[in-house]
Amino acid sequence: MNRLLLKKINLLLHLAKVDGKFDHSEKQLLVNVLKESGLDGSFLESHEAEAVKLDTLAEIPDKSELFYWVMKMIKADNILHADEVAYAKTVALKLNLKPEVVDYYSQNEVPDLPSFTQNMKQFRLS
């Protein structure tokens, strides 16, 4: 597994657990991310999430895709927990996005990835 994918999985795992529980829908979302990357979902059974240094998120080439999965994760269980929202806002800032993007997508449907990527332009910090 490449380093960037591992960082993405670790970030999403941490986000899934930040509210104190790891819901089935959150686990399923992670399995889908793994499958999209060509990995078996059983990876989660043997993987202990490592802390992600948020300052290193700037090195991720596709920030919109990462943030897409962040928003999908905080909405996966249909409960917007304050800790998840706060963490997502911190991630947004580290990805050079306005934290208001979290509020926007907390109240609106997260579209498909191409539409989401297009919409991210309006939330970029200068």
**pLDDT for position 76:** 94
For 10-69, write each residue's pLDDT tens digit: 899 999 889 888 889 999 999 988 888 888 877 777 777 777 889 888 888 889 999 999
Structure tokens, 7: 């960082």
Measured at the CA of 109, the angle between CA 106 and CA 113, to 5 degrees, comes to 110
> Whole-model pTM above 0.85?
yes
97, 70 Cβ separation under 8 angstroms: no
What are the b/e assignments for 78-88, b being 16+ CB within 10 Å? eeeeeebbebb
* Dist CA 17 CA 124 (whole Å): 27
User: Minimal CA–CA distance to 68: which of 108, 114, 21?
Assistant: 114
Confidence band for 1, pLDDT divided at 50, 70 and 90 = low
Tokens 């990876």 appear where? 43
